Amino acid sequence: MMASHTPPLQYTHHPSPIGPLLLAGRDDALEFIGFASGKGVVTPEADWQSCPDLALFQNCGHQLDAYFAGTLQQFELPLRPQGTDFQRQVLAALQTIPYGRTVSYADLARQIGRPKAVRAVGAANGRNPLPIVIPCHRVIGQDGSLTGFGGGLPVKRFLLELESGIHALPLI
């Protein structure tokens, strides 16, 4: 019996107002978006293949450009986020947060039917492999404070200001 072989990830870098974003996935779905700085940095592994002309990345790049221009509020991309069932449940809930709105970690925990799992929701949110597209930046502290974000708090502030209509200058 032959073992199934998963092809290596393909990747490219896409310029943005918050620095170059690493896009990674396979032909049919996006699996990672990595920031240029912060704890959300993703670097290509040795077996990853650079594929800047991949249709998936071209489509993602066009949608990211439209988002940063303020003309796209909902991404329509094939996604394949990795994680536990609980993490994927949190990622699905994140995708229901409307553009320009924020919720607290406690709100998100209640939404998934786990009101006492606020810390676990925060941890799952922090492991989001597809930031921006799965809008983990829209989750804030119960008191309205900005809390951790893989791209750093200045990037989170930039994204929230962009979505609120406040003219946000590029960070780079």
Q: Which two tokens stand for residue 1?
A: 């019996």
Same domain, 59 and 90: no
- State residue 64's pLDDT score: 98
Q: 63 lies in which domain range?
A: 10-68
Residues 6 or more apart whose CB falls under 8 angstroms from that of 45 comprise: 9
Share of the chain above pLDDT 70, in %: 93
Q: What is the pLDDT of residues 13-57, one digit of tens each?
A: 999 999 999 999 987 899 999 998 887 788 898 999 999 999 999
48, 24 contact by CB (below 8 A): yes
Residue 40 lies in a domain: yes
Question: How many domains are there within the chain?
Answer: 2
∠85-147-43 over CA atoms, to 5°? 65
Q: What is the pLDDT of residues 1-11, one digit of tens each?
A: 555 567 889 99
Which residue of the set 64, 108, 136, 155 is catalytic?
136
Residue 60 falls in the annotated catalytic set: no
Residue 3 lies in a domain: no
Which of 86-95, 141-150, 163-172 is predicted most confidently? 86-95
Classify residue 108 by its DSSP letter. Answer: H
Same domain, 56 and 89: no
- Phi, psi dihedral angles at 19 (to 5 degrees): 105, 170
- Pair type for strands 10-14 and 29-34: unpaired
Same domain, 92 and 139: yes
DSSP letters of 61-97?
A: HHHHHHHHTT---S----B---S-HHHHHHHHHHTTS
Q: How confident is the model at residue 148 (pLDDT cuts 50, 70, 90)?
A: confident
